[in-house]
Chains A and B, each alone.
Chain A
Amino acid sequence: MNKLSPADLEKMQKAPNGAPKDWIKVGMGSCGIAAGAEEVYNFFAEEVKKRNLQIDIKKCGCAGSCYAEPLVEVSVSGLPSVVYGTVNKEIATKILEKHVISKMLVNDCIFEVLI
């Protein structure tokens, strides 16, 4: 990596070109990991490879709703991005099958808490 100049920094803050990609973000703070986020993250990573889905699996920190960890945010084109809470493998499967593949939000698992 090269040392940055102020101009480089400015360039990096500009939006990249191209269509926005679909992604799934798993909250991996201490609270999330304690609640099983690592397992969920690995599950997503494996399943996406297995099913050959075009979606990025990312990590992020704690969003603050620690009671609902592990939190998973999903952004798929054509649907508003939503946060799923208390995600386990079972819900993760539903997220992939319903949300990502069939483009339907999963009932009873969304935590829409940030007002």
Chain B
Amino acid sequence: MYNKVILIKDTDLKRQDKTRDFYTHLLDYLRENNLHSEILLVRVADIGVYDKGLVLKMLPDRNTYINVQDTDIKRIVDSILQGKIIEELVFRPKVKQHRIVLRNCGNIDPENIDEYIFSGGYAGLKKVLGELGQQKLIEEIKISGIRGRGGAGYPTWMKWNFAREVESDQKFVICNADEGDPGAYMDRSVLESDPHSVIEGLIIAAFAIGASKGYFYIRAEYPLAVERINKAIKQAYAYGLLGNNILGSSFNLDLEIRLGAGAFVCGEETALISSIEGKRGYPHPRPPYPSVKGLWGKPTVINNVETLANIPAIISKGGKWFAQIGTQTSKGTKVFAVTGKVKNSGLVEIAMGATLREIVMDICGGTLSGKPVKAVQTGGPSGGVIPESLLDTPVDYENLQKLGSIMGSGGMIVMDEDDCMVDIPKFYLGFCVEESCGKCSPCRIGGFQMLGYLKRISEGQGKPEDLAQMRRLSVAMQKASLCGLGQTASNPVVSTLKYFEPEYNEHILNKRCPAGKCSHLVTYSIVGDKCKRCGLCVINCPPKAISGDKEKGFSIAPEKCVKCGRCVDVCKFKAISKD
């Protein structure tokens, strides 16, 4: 039986991996001292600490030592035997993941309600029905300071309070699970991994406003999430947590799933309501807000998946506990789906106030290629691009807005120097133009025109005055569009214009794309003295644009080249230049 386990990983990116050498040295030392049956050594694939040399982690104490040298072996083994800690080697991370929303994700079986209840589930609902009552419940949510996690950050208690105060024979609650940002999938993960926490949050929200009917609006592209929510609702009915007389009280609630067909605009609350009503997903001007006049003209509260998943934890542990986490204006935690050119893509839940750099570099291990980060995009198509120089900004609703981005639902896309800052807004704006419902002209026409400018710039036909014109258009779109989609569609353009104007000018004036992304502005050629004439590019070129032989060397025919970049990827000698 092993009492202690040591995990070993060399995390230094620049050197050769020395995990194996150190493992052998340490094992030899243990064998010499006859300790190898007490202490188990394990090499691991990833230890969660990056660029800190050799990292050791002791189990079960979970101390982490960084920058460990061979000379440290003796004192480390001694300290383990004595149960002490070597202070100068201990790693104390500045930022840790703090899991509230993801508390059960990956721990419990999402298809088994008993496991959720065993991990403390539905205790919040019991407390609400038994002790708190409507007034105190909303008071507790007010103390917690939680704001909507869907993007805009509207205080949740205010939404609930408005809806509660309106007199009506029927009220509704809706869970907005229409997650459409490219690259964001935290709502899907929560629905799939912990569906009952969202259902419990929705039941509590319904109780707060006095609703007797609730809807899950989930996009049909999430079949597994739909299946698991469906199962979870059935289980909750069977346990009397939904239906009539919930937990023996006089409170009744019915839940139903509505599938969204995948239109991005249906994540906007008024369009979502239209969609549930069976109409075309068009947004409406506000006010009246849905809290007053929503689904079928009745008071309706719409909350995001992540907001609802927070509610049971707030009720169980108290609003004060929640208010301690986070910054002055933004309380609690936020889940980000970190994707793009990052080493460890996945979900990260951090307390508000952690910096973007900590998220990208410390938790996610920096870029995949090891190249420096150029920018981080937050908030999906409604958000902006934040340059590397501003990555030390603490994340909260206000700070991101000041930088010209938004928190959004939590997509975070990491870009390195191979990403072009004209190409990125072109992609996002293209998405918004495609998804625009077409009801109001600033969004429909403005977006289309702006996309035209971006396309021309990326093709090398831009004019210097285009930038000023794009800025004017973006102001018109922000001010005059009907809903959030149009108002924020220009954010990626505005923010890249703000931080990366030289890159736009390079495209317009010198007809050059510094990142080598805009295919019209790039020509591929083979650098003669770097080329080893292996012929790998010839085999891999899809349109067969590379000709020549191993004696004379190879060349690329520009008229045949489709600029796919395949040759650059396969060339081991970096002999293909893009310029």
Contact = CB atoms under 8 A, between A and B. Distances in A.
Interface of A: 1-6, 9-10, 12-13, 25, 27, 29-31, 33, 58-68, 71, 73, 78-80, 85-86, 103-115
Contacts of B64: 115
A96 B42 CA distance: 16
A33 B117 contact: no
Contacts of B347: 62, 64, 66
B126 interface: yes
B346 A66 contact: yes
Contacts of B47: 112-113
B362 to A, nearest CB: 9
Given A13-B117, A33-B224, A64-B106, A4 B239 contact: yes
A78 B2 CA distance: 7
A112 B5 CA distance: 13
A109 B45 contact: yes
Given A27-B106, A30-B224, A66-B347, A61 B97 contact: no
Contacts of B117: 9, 12-13
Given A60-B193, A61-B192, A105 B42 contact: yes
Interface string B30-52: 00000000001011111111000
Interface stretch (B72-80, B108-116, B388-396, B413-421): B108-116
A85 B45 contact: yes
Contact of B5 (A27, A80, A115): A80
A113 B48 contact: yes
A82 to B, nearest CB: 8
B285 interface: no
Interface of B: 1-2, 5, 7, 40, 42-49, 57, 59-60, 64, 93, 96-97, 102, 104-111, 114, 117-118, 120, 122-123, 126, 129-130, 185, 188-189, 192-194, 222, 224-225, 238-241, 245, 247-248, 343-349
Contacts of A30: 185, 188-189, 192, 222, 224-225
**Top 3 A-B residue pairs of the complex, sorted by shortest distance between their CB atoms:** A61-B193, A63-B106, A3-B240
A37 to B, nearest CB: 11
A21 B126 CA distance: 29
Given A9-B247, A60-B108, A71-B106, A3 B239 contact: yes
A107 to B, nearest CB: 4
Contact of A62 (B49, B105, B123): B105
B283 to A, nearest CB: 29
B126 A6 contact: yes
A56 B502 CA distance: 59
Contacts of B240: 2-4
Contacts of B59: 80
B45 A115 contact: no
A111 B120 contact: no
Contacts of A66: 345-347
A64 B102 contact: yes
Contact of A86 (B45, B111, B247): B45
23 contacts: A6-B126, A9-B123, A13-B123, A25-B106, A27-B106, A29-B192, A58-B109, A59-B109, A59-B111, A60-B109, A61-B105, A61-B192, A62-B105, A64-B105, A64-B348, A67-B345, A78-B2, A104-B40, A105-B40, A112-B44, A112-B48, A113-B46, A115-B97
Contacts of A115: 48-49, 64, 93, 96-97
A112 B11 CA distance: 13
Contacts of A25: 106
Contacts of A104: 40
